[in-house]
Structures are given as structure tokens and as C-alpha cells.
Structure 1
Amino acid sequence: MDKVLKSCFPKKVLWRLTLTNIIVIATFIILSSWAIYNTACFLVEGMGQINAQKQNEFNTTLFQYLWIFSVSVIIMGSVVHFYITTKLIKPLNRLIESTKIMKQGHYPEPIKVKSDGEIEQLILHFNELVQQLKNNEQYRQKLISDLSHEFRTPLSNLNGYLNALSNGVIEGNPKLYESLQKESKRLTHMVEQFEILKEWDYASIQNFTERQQVDMRLLLEQSVEMFKWLLDQRGIKVDLQTDYGKVTVINGGIPQVISNLIDNAIRYYEGTGPIIIKGEALDEEYLVTVSGPSQRISEFNQEKIFERFYRTDSSRNSETGGTGLGLSISKEIVEHHNGKIGLISNQNYNSFWFTLPLGHIT
């Protein structure tokens, strides 16, 4: 049935267009021929130089020629129209075939177009829609796979230990309870970060969001102050160097970016020397850099490190690997502020940076 509909629909449209064109062309040609015939007959009759027999012969001959001319033009015009319309409707046939493929749950190949008409524009938009759907599907599958992987290990640990405790296989002790609490906190933290990521995904398509101008120097100082106790506990010094610079921020996202980068610098700190935090006001943008000694990040990991759920430790250690969402959230926030974010890795010294436009953003 689908094949019948697929083949009949363009043909129905084609015949309707052709029939409509024939009726319109025939009507105008007949009216024009009738006007020419009557005008010519009237003019010749008005000249008064031919008798009635000659007048009738002239009228009959003119009528025959106009009739032959009209029929010929109608037939030729209809054939040309049919040929042109067939070529115009051909892309619609491919569009219908692609739509049927999508209806069956598959993604069709892009439809090739050669011109820039309205139908071709429709097909181009259709190709873009199919590509967007494919990207969304790939993202959805990857997201489900990542979520499944991330939640499986801590949930298995919690269920295993809780079953063992409830069955009396093992006895509880403060160290075990502390470990279980850490796994529970990690799951909670992961859900919270995922909610933040979802909010910024939603914010990225909104035109009206709360904005305010802030001094980046103040934001950096406040962010460092929040980590003062943890830095003192770890015995890590901080070198803060900031310039004054006003930027427009949305919904308080930039303090979270700064906190994520500082938290990473502390979490992966190895070696000696301070963590250096710089805020530089350049010509048109404000540059923030968080640098510190840590493990070397390979070029492969540098390209992947801002992806969701990606962590540089292949073992996905919960103590050092976090949730793999912090940098991804930072990237979402910075890019939504029309900024850029990146990483410079030099042996055992890594520098995470991001830029924001100075002044207002659109």
C-alpha cells in the first residue's frame, strides 16, 4: 500500500497541474483566437473592397488557421509543461521516499539538489532535519550508555554491601559506613550536576534569561575564598593575580565555572608549587587561567576532556575521577556566554583557561 501511495501521489499532483495548465492555456488561446478572428473579419469587411463570397472564404480560412494554431499551441504547451513539471516534481518523489524510510525507523541518505528553488530549499531543510535527528539519536544513545555506566558501579557496591549487611554476612563498622556514605554522596552529586547540565541545555535555547554585570576580579577572589579551608588542609598555596574587568553573566553560571576549575586543580594536584589563578583584561575579552602541577594529560585526552562523563583515568576511580561532568558543565556555561574554554598541557603542568566578552553580550 505504501508503495502504491508513494508512486501515485506525485503522479496525481503531476496530472492535476498539467490538467490545470491545459485548461488555463486553452482558455486564453481560444479567447485570443476568437478576438483575433472577429477583429480581422471586421477590419476586412470594413475595407469594402471584396464581395461577400470572398469575405466568407477569408473568414473560413482564417478560422481554420486559428483553430489549427490554437490546437497546436495547446498540445505543444501541454507537452512542454508536462516535461518541466515532471522534472520539478521528481525531487518531491525522492522526498516522499525518504519520509517513508524515516517512518520505518531508519535515517535516509541526504537528497541531492542541483538548483536553488523553493522545492530544493524544502529538501535542504529536510536534509538538515534528518541530520539533526541523527545527531540527537546518537547523543541520546551515548547519554543513556554513559548514565548506565556511571550509575552501575556505585549502585552495585551499595546493593552488594547492604545485602551482605542485611543477611549478616559481614558486620558493619565505621569505615564501611563511611565508604557507603561516600558512594551515596557521589550518586547524589552526579544527579545534581546532571540537573545543572540539563538547565544549561535548556537555557541555551532561551532568548530571555537573567543577566547582570559583575567584576571578574571580585568573582575570582570570592571563588578562591570558598576553597581556602580545603587548600589549607591540603597544604597548597595559591597565587592570585587579577585585573579589573566587567563582564555580563547569566544566572550565576561563571562562579561555578571558576569553582570547577579550581576544584580540578586541587583534586589532581601533584608536585610542588602554588596553583596560579590569573584574571587578565584583554582588548575585547577577559581571560581566566587556572594552572597547577598535576599529571600530564595526553593529546588524546585533551580533545575529549570537555565531553560529558569523560574522565582521564581509565579506571574511573571515584576518589580521583569525579563524575566527568564538571568540565562539560563549564563548557556549556562558557559557550552560552559567547566565550571559549580550553586546556594547555605542558608535561606535568596543566592550565585550564576560558574567555568571556568584556561588557554586554547579546
Structure 2
Amino acid sequence: MLRNSWKRNIFPSSFLFRLTFINIIVIVAFVTFSSWAIYHTACTLADGLLAMTDHRQHQFRTTLFQYLCIFSISTILFGSLIHFYLTNKVTQPLKELIQSTQKMKQGQYPPPIDVKTNGEIATLSNNMNELVQQLHTNEQQRKKLVSDLSHEFRTPLTNLNGYLRALQNGVIEGDEKLYQSLYAESTKLTALVEQMEQLKEWDDIASQTFTEKEPTDLKAFIEEVIGLFYWSLQEENMELDVHLQSGVVTVHRTSISQVISNLLDNAIRYYEGAGPVTIIGEKLPDKYKLSLTGPGRTIPESDRERIFERFYRTEPSRSRELGGSGLGLAISKEIIERHHGNIGVYSEGNLHTFWFTLPYSQ
């Protein structure tokens, strides 16, 4: 363990020294060759231009050699020092990156790296900062999700255990009303399990490339998806007002069907007030736009900006009837963006319109 720690701590310095050593070798080779060339060139010129005795010629060569040695040593020394200083400045972000990765390996979230330069190292440092921030955000969302799910599982499980223990001990007798209560609690647990399944669904969506796209008439396709909600609309006594134009778009049918289902399911689940749920499909010059408008509780403006974030929910009370896993709209956004489209929401009071667009050419 101590040996590995020593290696980690010495790595940045040893890396810097290796760079400096390589630079010194290059400088020495270059200066030596240059000095040798200058020396022999000067001696040859001196022999050809001046008539010197052997003593004067020896003295000239000795003096020239001394000056070249001084010049070479000074160049190597100052060049190496300047190289060491500049390389140390350049590799400083790398040292901070190494320290950051070591802290991440220990389960800590390092502070952001201060980027003062441009270039590849700056890009790497910025990417590292974004990665740390994303991991930190994911960790917070994971803890929140676990807290939410444990909170929501606790109540129906407590109710079921209480009823079943009472039945077992003969404290109460089973009747239709009791069985309905047990069934309601069981249904809530099933819904929570389905929410957990959406986590796997999110990972599947994120890894898909949607290569199996096919030209689809969205008018007929949307009508087909809406038909699946016929009984749900009947049970809620909700009216649906549909206005669709034909438009052929190349899409991954299964995933786009999921987006439409998510939006319509939300419109039914969060329906409050009076009036129909309106679905409008418009064929625009370069894209097809589908919008779904319905009444519901007011969405604060701050929530509208984050409503498509993973795990984000506008229901702060964690109501089991209203609160979901916060993945449906995030998955929908992922799908639409993979189709090079856009998705959004705008509200006027308690009337909300969710919309998305799909370009004709993708």
C-alpha cells in the first residue's frame, strides 16, 4: 500500500523530470553538433584566409574551443532551466487531474480544476470538471430516488402487514371493503415496481442509436397510439379533442410511441379542472409538430425549466397518487433529441401544453 502511494505521489515529478531529461539530450546533441560544425568551419576559414604559424593556429583553435564550450554549457544549462520551468507550468493541470482522479478513486468529489489556458489540456480539464459535476449530481439524484422509493414503499407495506396480521390473529374478518383496500395497496406497490423498471428503460434508451427507423405517416400512427388509451379516458370521463394532419417522417416507431404515451398518460394522471385534452398535429415546412394541451395544477416557472430532467418531480409532497419516478419526460426528451427534434412545455395558468417536433430529414 505504501509503495503504491509513493508511486502515485512521485508520478507527476518523475514525468516532468523525464520530459526535462529528454529535452536535455536533444539540446546537448544539437549544441554539440552545432559547436563541432562551427569549430571546424572557423578553423578551415582561418587556415585559408590567414597565414598563421603553428603556435598562433594552436592558440586560435584553443581559444575558439574554449568559447564554444562556454557557449554550449551555458545554452544547455539555461535551456534546460527554461524548459523545466515552462514544462512545469504546462503540466500543472495534469498534476491537478491526477489528484482529482485519486480523490475520485477514494470516493470523494474533488474541487473544480482552475483552467487558465487554452488547448487540449484545458479541454481535458473542463471535461474532467463536467464529469465530476455530473457524477455528483447523479449521486444526489440516486440518494433522492432511494429516499423517495423507500418512503413510498413503507406506507403500503405497513398497511398490508397490519391488515394481514389482523386477519391472521382473527382480530378482523375479511369482507369486500377490506379486500378492496388490500388490492389498492397492492396496486400502489405494483406501480412503484414499474417506476423502478423505468430506470432500466432509461439505460436502454440512452444506449440505443435508433437505427431501425422507417417512414411513418404520423397522423395514422398517432391515432393508433391514442386508441390504446380509450378505456383509460372512459374511466376518467375525459374528453379528447384530436386534430391531426398527415405528415411522413422517418422515425423509430416504438420509441416515438412511448413519447406519445408518456405525454398522454401524464395528461390523464394530472388532469384537474374542466375541458377536453386537445391533441394537435401540424405539418410545418421542415418538421412535424405534435402538441398536447390539457388542464392541470399550476406548474411553477422554475419547475418548467427542469421538468425534463431525470428524476425531477414537480410534486414536493411525494404523493403516491401523483408523484412518479420523474423519468417519463426525461426519457421522452432523450428519444426526441435522438431523432434530432425538440421537446418543451409552456403554460398559461392551469392549462399546459407539451409539444415536440420531428424534422422530416434526419
TM-score category, normalised to shorter length: 0.7 to 0.9
The Cα offsets for residues 223-268 of structure 1, whole Å up to 9 and x where unpaired, read as: 3433334444554433222111223332513333333443444445
The Cα offsets for residues 3-35 of structure 1, whole Å up to 9 and x where unpaired, read as: 855653333233333333223322322232223
Task: Determine the structure 1 residue equivalent to 2:209.
Answer: 207
Out of 295, 313, 319, the residue aligned to residue 316 of structure 1 is: 319
Task: Determine the structure 2 residue equivalent to 1:351.
Answer: 352
Does 2:126 correspond to 1:156? no
* AA at the equivalent of 1:239: D
Task: Determine the structure 2 residue equivalent to 1:257.
Answer: 259
Relative distance call for 1:184 and 1:250 in structure 2 (3 A) is: farther
Give the secondary-structure state (helix, strand or coil) at the position aligned to 2:118: coil
Task: Determine the structure 1 residue equivalent to 2:178.
Answer: 176
Q: Is the CA contact (8 Å cut-off) linking 2:287 and 2:358 kept in structure 1?
A: yes
The Cα offsets for residues 76-100 of structure 1, whole Å up to 9 and x where unpaired, read as: 2222222222322333332333233
The Cα offsets for residues 314-338 of structure 1, whole Å up to 9 and x where unpaired, read as: 36153x6566655455444444434
TM-score computed with the length of structure 2 as normaliser? 0.84
Cα drift, residue 63 of structure 1 = 1.8
Q: Is the CA contact (8 Å cut-off) linking 2:205 and 2:335 kept in structure 1?
A: no
Tell which deviates more after alignment, 189-198 or 21-30: 189-198
Cα drift, residue 299 of structure 1 = 4.2
Relative distance call for 1:195 and 1:250 in structure 2 (3 A) is: farther
Does 2:121 correspond to 1:128? no
Q: Is the CA contact (8 Å cut-off) linking 2:340 and 2:359 kept in structure 1?
A: no
Q: Unpaired segments of 5 or more residues in structure 1? A: none
Task: Determine the structure 1 residue equivalent to 2:106.
Answer: 104
Give the secondary-structure state (helix, strand or coil) at the position aligned to 1:214: strand
Task: Determine the structure 2 residue equivalent to 1:140.
Answer: 142
Q: Tell me the distance in 2 between the aligned counterparts of 1:113 and 1:51.
A: 64
Q: Tell me the distance in 2 between the aligned counterparts of 1:81 and 1:152.
A: 64
Relative distance call for 1:302 and 1:48 in structure 2 (3 A) is: closer
Q: Tell me the distance in 1 between the aligned counterparts of 2:172 and 2:260.
A: 43
Cα drift, residue 183 of structure 1 = 2.6
Does 2:63 correspond to 1:56? no
Task: Determine the structure 2 residue equivalent to 1:290.
Answer: 292
Task: Determine the structure 2 residue equivalent to 1:19.
Answer: 21
Give the secondary-structure state (helix, strand or coil) at the position aligned to 2:207: coil
The Cα offsets for residues 269-293 of structure 1, whole Å up to 9 and x where unpaired, read as: 4554433322222233323233344
Cα drift, residue 211 of structure 1 = 2.0
Q: Tell me the distance in 2 between the aligned counterparts of 1:21 and 1:172.
A: 87
Cα drift, residue 48 of structure 1 = 6.5
Task: Determine the structure 2 residue equivalent to 1:243.
Answer: 245
* AA at the equivalent of 1:314: S
Q: Is the CA contact (8 Å cut-off) linking 1:211 and 1:249 kept in structure 2?
A: yes
Relative distance call for 1:46 and 1:204 in structure 2 (3 A) is: same
* AA at the equivalent of 1:357: L
Out of 44, 50, 70, the residue aligned to residue 42 of structure 1 is: 44
Q: Is the CA contact (8 Å cut-off) linking 2:289 and 2:355 kept in structure 1?
A: yes
**Residues 71-110 of structure 1 mapped to structure 2, 5 A cutoff:** 71-110=73-112
Identity over aligned pairs, percent: 51
Q: Unpaired segments of 5 or more residues in structure 2? A: none
TM-score computed with the length of structure 1 as normaliser? 0.84
Give the secondary-structure state (helix, strand or coil) at the position aligned to 1:32: helix
